Structure 1
Amino acid sequence: MDRSERYYKKKINLAELTDEELMEFIDSVEVEDETFSSDNSIVDPDYVVDNIEYNNSADQVIEECMNEMDEAENTDAFIAEGMNLSMNTSSIEQPAANSTLILDESVGLQKPSTSSAAITNIPLKSVKRPRSPLPTVEESGPSVQPTSGGFTGEALTAISSKELSKAIWRKRALRLHVNEVAFRGDSSLPSTVKELQTPMAFFNFFFTSEILEMIAKETNRRALEENINSTFKTTSAEIRHYIGIMIYMSVYHYPNIDSYWGQNSFKPIQNCMPIKRFIAIKKYLSFQEESQRIKKGQPGYDPLFRIRALANKLNDRFDSVPKSARLCVDEMMCSTKTKHHLRQYMPNKPHKWGVKLFVLCDTNGFAYRFEIYNGAGDNVILPNTPDLGATSNIVIRLSQTIPDFVHHILYFDNFYTSLPLLVYLRARGIYSLGTVRANRIPGCKLPTDGEVRKESRGFSTEYMTSVQGIDLNTVLWKDNKCVRLASTYVDIEPFLRANPDLQTAKVSRYDRKQKHFIEINCPQIIREYNAHMGGVDLMDSLMGRYHIQAKSRNIMMRLFYHFVDMAATNAYILYKRVRAEKANDSSNVSQEEQQYNLPQFREEIAAGLVSFKEKRPVGRQSSVQGIDRSVSQQPSPSIIGRRAVHQVDDVRFDGQDHFPIWMDRKGKKRCKYCKKSDTQVTCSKCDLHLCCTADKNYFWDYHHKN
C-alpha cells in the first residue's frame, strides 16, 4: 500500500510528522481546476472584465512553501504560522503538540496523481461598469435651442399612422451633437423639500393631513352607514397610528396579526392601540362615499371609484417633485389573488397575480405618476391629444405633466412603442427611445432574425426616415438574440463631441467555443436604453423587500397598502436625492446627520406615526393623565438597568406632553444629555433622565433643536 493512502480517514499527529512525510503529503494533494461554466451572454452590456494575473501552475506554490519551510526553525512553527496567515485570525490559539487532523475523502481530498495539477486561466465573471454621466452642454459646440424637431403637421391631434405608410426608409445615421440632447430644464428641488429632515417629514410630504382627514371622514361615514347606532368614531391621528402599525408589520414579520399583541408582543404596536381598536379601524376603513358611485352599466361608471380620490391626491403629491432628465414608463403589479375583474396574470413578473399599474419613474426609481389598469375598455383620450392606440395612449396620459421643450428623454418597451408616439413626443420637445416590434414599423427594412442568423454577435444595422418633418431611426443589434429599437435622438454611433477619445462602444461577452470573454461592438442606442430604462423595476424591487403583506378580500384595501408602500419608497428615494444635493453644497453638509438604509427609514416612519399626537389649541394645557406630580415616584423594576432608547426626532421635538417628573433619591440616574451628572428628573414622554436645575437645564436643551 502506498504511504499516502494511509492518510485517508486517519488521525495524524502533526508533531510526529517528519519533514519528508509532510512534503510527501503535500505532493499527494491535487489542485482542482476552478473554471466557470456559466454563460453570461444575456446580462446587461454595460460590463467590463478586470485584468487579473494568475499563477501558471501549482508547482510554484509548492516551491514557495518549501523555501519558507526551510527558513522556519521547525515544522510545528511553520504549520502554525501558515494557519494564521491563511485564516487571517491571529487571535486563534495555536494547536497544541498533541492536536490531530482528521482527513476524509468525502471533503474533496483526492488521491495522488502522477501528473502535475496545472491551474488554467480562469474566465472571470463580468463586473458592472458605472453609468456614464448625463450629456452636458459643450461650450465649444454649436448653440442649440430646444425645438419641436421640425414638426410640419397641422396639429398634435392630427398625428396618425397614415403618414407612416408613405415613409421611405434609407440606410442613414441619425448623428446629433451632444448639445442637441443635453437637458435644458431645472430639476433642482424647491426649498420646501430641502427643509425636510426626518423620515416621517418626507412621508408626510406625500401622505398629507388633508388625505388623512379625508380617510378619517369617510371611515366614520361608513361606520354609520353600516349601523346608525354605532359609537365608532376615529380621527386623522388614529389613521396615522394605523398606517404606522402596518409599516411596522412590513419590517418586523410575525406569524399573524394577533401575534403582535400576543405573549411575545411587539411593544411599539401594543402601546399604540389595542387589537380590538385596530380591527375596528380595519373593518370600517373607507376612502370615498359609496352613495355617490355611478351604477354599473351607466355612463361614467368607474370600477375604481372607491379608491379614485386617494389615487388622484397621491398623484398630485408625487408629481409636485421636479422631474429628472431621464424618465421611463413601465408596468408594476400590486400583488393579490383576490377574486376581482381587475386582477391580472403576468407570468414574467415576480408577483404574477395582482392589479396592474402603469408608472412613470426616473432612473432612480422615484414614481411621479401612476395609473391603475381598469380593463380592455380603459382607453381614455385626453383633450387635445391624438388617439394612437390603447398602449400608446397610456404614455400620452402619463407624460402630460412632463415640461415641453427642455429635452426630457422618455424610455419605454415594445408594449408601448409605436412610431406615431415617437412623432408626438418629439413634436412636444421630448426625446424618446424604446424597443419596438417589427410589425409596428410600416415598410420596415430591418433584416429578419433568419437573415442575420449567420452574422456574428455584435452585428448592427440602422435605417432612418422622416415623418411630418421629424427624423426617426430604427436599429437592429444582434446579441444573444436580435433586438430592435426606435428612437428620435440616438443611433449606433455615440453623440458628436469635441473629444474623439470618448467615442468608444465595446462590451464583453462570454464565448462558449473559445471559453473566455470577448469584446463585441455595442451601439450607443443599446447603452442608452440599458442605462435608463430600469426605473420602474428598481422601485418595484425596493417595495418588494419590505412591503405590507396583510391579506384582505377587499381589493381596494390591497391598493391602499400598495399606495402606502409607494409613498414610503418615494420618501426614501427623495431623502437620498436631498442628501445628494446637500452633499454638493458644502455649506449644508452636516457630519452628525444620520444616514438611513431602507428598513431603518421605514422603521423611523412607523415610530413617528405611532407616536403622533395632534397639537392642542393655544392656551393653558391640561395636566398629563395618569401622572401625579406632587408625589415622587419610584422607577419600575422593568426599566432599571436597561439601555436608554431615544425617541425619534418627530416625537422628541414635537413640544407636546414633555413634563419633568421628580423621582426620589433612589431613582437617580446619569443624565442622557450631558452624560456626566446624576439626576432625579425624568421626561414623562421620552422616559429618559435629564438634568433640570437652574444651572443645568438640559431638559429644555434636549427637547429643542436650537
Structure 2
Amino acid sequence: MPNNESDVCNDNDNNNSDIQESDLVTNNEISDLKYILSEKKDIKWRHRPISILDSYSEWEQHIEDQELLSPSTYFSKYIPDDLFCTMADMTNIYALQSGEISNFKQTTPAELKTLFGLHIIMGTLKFPRVRMFWDTTLKMQLFLDSMSRDRFFQVRTNLHLVNNMDIPADNKDRFYKVWPIYTALRNRCLELPAEEELAVDEAMIPFTGRLSVKQYVKGKPTPWGIKMYMLCGKSGQAYDFILYQGASTEFQESLLKAFGQGPTVVLQLAQRIKQEMGHKIYSDNFFSSYKLFQALKQENICAAGTVRVNRFANPPLMPDKEALKKERGFSEEICSTDDITLVKWVDNKTVVLGSNFIGKGETDKVECWDKKQNKYVTINRPEIVKLYNHGMGGVDLFDQLMSYYRIFIKSKKWTLRAIFHAVDFAVVQSWLEYRTSAREIGLPTKKIMDLLHFRIRLADVLVLSGKDIPNKKRGRPSATPPDTPVQRLRGETRPPEEIQYDGAQHWPLHENGALPTRCKFPECKGRSRVKCEKCNVRLCLSKEKNCFRSFHLN
C-alpha cells in the first residue's frame, strides 16, 4: 500500500516515562531561557488555517567533495586507532586488578581489532553458539587461524575502556565505563552534514540482565534494554543521540523545568542544527507540546508531530465520537494566535497532529485498505500527514539496519552489550556514509556494497590488516605426501587493498605440485606457481620479472 496513513496512528504511549509540562512554570522562572513562551490560559484557538510565514529559510544541501573510502577508513572515523590503544591499556590494567595477570598475556590494539572483527563476522553468520565458530568440523579457518577460542573469551572477559580505580567515589553516572566509545561515536555524528528531514525517537540497546537504568518501551522489537534518544535523517543516518539513565541523564535543568522531559530531548538534539536553516523535525506524541513548537519556531526550525490534546490548552476540536461519524478522510484544522496549528484527521481512528509550519495545506488522494469493504479505497489526506509519514521513519530505519546483523552477545555484563552495540552502530553509520559517497560520485548501483558485504570486508581487514601470518595447523602433521598435487580453487579473489598494501608478513610460497595459474598483477599475463601466503593469490617471481613486489607496492 503506498504511503500507509495508519503509520501516524501507531505511536507508543510511553506511559512509563511521560513527564507532563509543569503548569506552575512561568516566564519569570525561566528567565535564563531565550524563548518567549505562552501560558495555557493565554492560548486562543480559531478555526482557521495556519499562516505560511516567509521567515522560514529554504534548506540548502551542503555537499562536500565526496571521495569513496575503504570500509575500514569510514569505521576508523567512529572508533579511531587511539581508542583501541586506550582499550588495550585499560584491559591490561583490569586483568592485573582482577588477579589474572599470571595467566593473561597482555593484549595489544591489533589483537583488539581482531576481536572486534571476529564479533562482526559472528553477527553476520549468527551461529547458535559462539564456540561453534572454533569447531573444526565447520572449518571456519579465519577463526582458527586468528585467535584461539580460550584467548577470545579471556580478552573479551577483561575488555575495559576505563580504569576502575579512576571512577570517582561519588560517581552517579551509570555509563561511566562505556563513555569513551560513545563519545567517539557522537563526535563523528556531530561532524556529519544533517539532512533536511529529521526525526527524533527512541531506540534500544538490547539487554535483559540486571541494570538499574534498564527500561521497558512498549511496542519496540526489543522492548527491554538501555534507552537512547536519537536524531536521525530520513536515510537512517544518525546525527546525535542521548543515552537515558533516569534522573542522572544530562538534561539542561532550565529546559527540563520549562518544557518537561520529552520536549527537552528534542530541543537538546536540535542544538546541532541551529546554525543551519530549513530543517524539519518530526516526533511522536511523547515529545510534542505547544511550548516545543513555539521554541523551535523561534529558532527558525520547522516541526510537526502527533500530539496529546491535553497538552494544548483544551483545543476546540470535534470530539472523537462525532468525528468518527464523518466519512473517512475528514479533517479539521484549528490555529492559535501564535500560529501553532492542530489538525484532526479521521482514518481507521482519529489522530491529531500539531505543527508550527504546516496544517491541512494541499490535500491529496491516497489509497488505503478498508476492512468492511475488503478493498482499497481512496480518501483525502492532509499535507501534514503526508509530510509526517515521509519524514518520521529515520530512527526506525536505523534500528532495522542494526537488527539485520546484530553482534551476538550472551553475557550478564551490560558493558559488553553496550560496547558491541556501539560497534554495530559504527558499522551501520560507516555503511550509510559509504553509500552516500558512492551515490554522489556516480558509482553504479551494482558496484555499491550492501551492508552484508560491507561488514564482511570490514571484518576481514580488522582481522588481517597489519598482522603476522597465522601459524599453521597445530597437532600431528598431515599424512598427505608433500608432492601431492594441490587442486586449484576456482574463483580466486584479490585481497582488500588495506591488506594488500599493509606491508606486513607477505611471504612467497612455491607450490611445486600445483598447476600454474594466471598472475594476479594487472599488467602481467603470465602464469605462476608462487603465491602470497597472506593474500592467497598467485604472482610471478623469477629472474625476468617480480610481480610479487609490484603487487604489494601502493
Q: Same fold (TM over 0.5)?
A: yes
Shift of 1:453: 2.1
Per mean C-alpha deviation after superposition, the further-off stretch among 415-424 and 520-529 is: 415-424
Q: Is the 8 Å Cα contact of residues 78 and 185 (structure 2) preserved in structure 1?
A: yes
Shift of 1:255: 2.8
User: 1:488/1:612 Cα in 2 relative to 1: closer, same or farther (>3 Å)?
Assistant: same
Cα shift readout 1:319-339 (whole Å, capped 9, x = no counterpart):
211111111110011112112
User: 1:183/1:210 Cα in 2 relative to 1: closer, same or farther (>3 Å)?
Assistant: same
The aligned residue for residue 602 of structure 1 is 455
Match of 1:282 among 144, 147, 156: 156
1:642 and 2:489 matched: yes
1:451 and 2:322 matched: yes
| Inter-partner Cα distance in structure 1 for 2:116 and 2:253 | 34
Match of 1:321 among 168, 178, 192: 192
Correspondence 1:572-591 to 2 at 5 A: 572-583=431-442, 589=443
| Inter-partner Cα distance in structure 1 for 2:405 and 2:421 | 11
| Inter-partner Cα distance in structure 2 for 1:45 and 1:338 | 35
User: 1:41/1:682 Cα in 2 relative to 1: closer, same or farther (>3 Å)?
Assistant: closer
1:698 and 2:551 matched: no
Amino acid of the residue matched to residue 96 of structure 2? L
Shift of 1:211: 1.7
| Inter-partner Cα distance in structure 2 for 1:670 and 1:357 | 52
Shift of 1:566: 0.8
1:242 and 2:242 matched: no
RMSD of aligned alpha carbons: 3.1
1:474 and 2:342 matched: yes
| Inter-partner Cα distance in structure 1 for 2:2 and 2:543 | 73
Amino acid of the residue matched to residue 272 of structure 1? S
Shift of 1:166: 0.2
Shift of 1:427: 1.5
| Inter-partner Cα distance in structure 1 for 2:54 and 2:382 | 16
The aligned residue for residue 76 of structure 1 is none
The aligned residue for residue 21 of structure 2 is none
Structure 1 length-normalised TM: 0.68
Ranges in structure 1 where 5+ consecutive residues have no aligned partner = 1-39, 47-153, 495-503, 584-588, 616-622, 627-633
Secondary structure at 2:434 match in 1: helix
User: 1:156/1:570 Cα in 2 relative to 1: closer, same or farther (>3 Å)?
Assistant: farther
Correspondence 1:611-626 to 2 at 5 A: 611-613=464-466
The aligned residue for residue 301 of structure 2 is 430
User: 1:294/1:160 Cα in 2 relative to 1: closer, same or farther (>3 Å)?
Assistant: farther
| Inter-partner Cα distance in structure 2 for 1:371 and 1:566 | 14
Shift of 1:374: 0.6
Amino acid of the residue matched to residue 115 of structure 2? Y
1:658 and 2:534 matched: no
1:338 and 2:186 matched: no
The aligned residue for residue 259 of structure 1 is 132
| Inter-partner Cα distance in structure 1 for 2:485 and 2:397 | 44
User: 1:159/1:666 Cα in 2 relative to 1: closer, same or farther (>3 Å)?
Assistant: closer
1:215 and 2:57 matched: no
Q: Is the 8 Å Cα contact of residues 366 and 539 (structure 1) preserved in structure 2?
A: yes
Return the index of the structure with the highest Cα Rg: 1
1:492 and 2:381 matched: no
Secondary structure at 2:415 match in 1: helix
User: 1:607/1:41 Cα in 2 relative to 1: closer, same or farther (>3 Å)?
Assistant: closer
Amino acid of the residue matched to residue 477 of structure 1? W
Cα shift readout 1:88-112 (whole Å, capped 9, x = no counterpart):
xxxxxxxxxxxxxxxxxxxxxxxxx
Shift of 1:552: 0.9
1:157 and 2:39 matched: no
The aligned residue for residue 22 of structure 2 is none
Q: Percent identical across equivalent pairs?
A: 29
The aligned residue for residue 44 of structure 2 is 168
Secondary structure at 1:426 match in 2: helix
Q: Is the 8 Å Cα contact of residues 172 and 248 (structure 2) preserved in structure 1?
A: no
User: 1:673/1:425 Cα in 2 relative to 1: closer, same or farther (>3 Å)?
Assistant: same
Q: Is the 8 Å Cα contact of residues 3 and 366 (structure 2) preserved in structure 1?
A: no
The aligned residue for residue 568 of structure 1 is 427
1:291 and 2:186 matched: no
Aligned length: 521
Correspondence 1:499-538 to 2 at 5 A: 505-538=364-397
User: 1:402/1:603 Cα in 2 relative to 1: closer, same or farther (>3 Å)?
Assistant: same
Secondary structure at 2:83 match in 1: helix
Secondary structure at 1:387 match in 2: helix
The aligned residue for residue 292 of structure 2 is 421
Amino acid of the residue matched to residue 681 of structure 1? V
Cα shift readout 1:589-611 (whole Å, capped 9, x = no counterpart):
5x698321121111111111111
| Inter-partner Cα distance in structure 2 for 1:604 and 1:322 | 26
Shift of 1:158: 5.2
1:197 and 2:69 matched: yes
| Inter-partner Cα distance in structure 1 for 2:132 and 2:482 | 28
Q: Is the 8 Å Cα contact of residues 336 and 558 (structure 1) preserved in structure 2?
A: yes
| Inter-partner Cα distance in structure 2 for 1:531 and 1:543 | 21
Shift of 1:686: 1.0
Q: Is the 8 Å Cα contact of residues 668 and 680 (structure 1) preserved in structure 2?
A: yes
Amino acid of the residue matched to residue 599 of structure 1? L
| Inter-partner Cα distance in structure 2 for 1:694 and 1:403 | 65
User: 1:409/1:549 Cα in 2 relative to 1: closer, same or farther (>3 Å)?
Assistant: same
Cα shift readout 1:336-367 (whole Å, capped 9, x = no counterpart):
21121122222311112221111111001111
User: 1:163/1:443 Cα in 2 relative to 1: closer, same or farther (>3 Å)?
Assistant: same
